[in-house]
Amino acid sequence: MVSVRGAGHDVIRWFGERDKIFNVHFRNIKGRKLAFEETFPDEGDVDMVRAAKTYRDVGYRGMLMPDHAPKISGENADWVAFAYCYGYIRAVLQSIDALED
């Protein structure tokens, strides 16, 4: 697992330029190792838009997949939280493409 919070986006760049990224669980947290809380992608400590741009810049062509999401209440809560994360990732990718045009 590669975490970009502590080491910065240089970690993505280092592994990506060597074609050593095979799977990305695109998630965010607040806190630090062993003392963190899961957040939605747009609420944590990592700049997820910058991370997505870095994956694109190094030529990563795999999936940015949602991972754990915070617990929410309501009907189908787990599915709703997952759908929010998936939609966020899709919107980030679309915005990156739009900014490049």
Residues 59-81 have pLDDT tens digits of 999 999 998 889 999 999 999 99
pLDDT 10s digits, 83-100: 999 999 999 999 998 877
**Cα 53 to Cα 96: distance, rounded to the nearest angstrom:** 7
Positive or negative torsion for Cα 18, 23, 27, 30:
negative
pTM (two decimals): 0.84
Q: Give me the pLDDT at residue 97, please.
A: 82
For residue 25 the two structure tokens come to 């669980």
For residue 18 the two structure tokens come to 């060597």
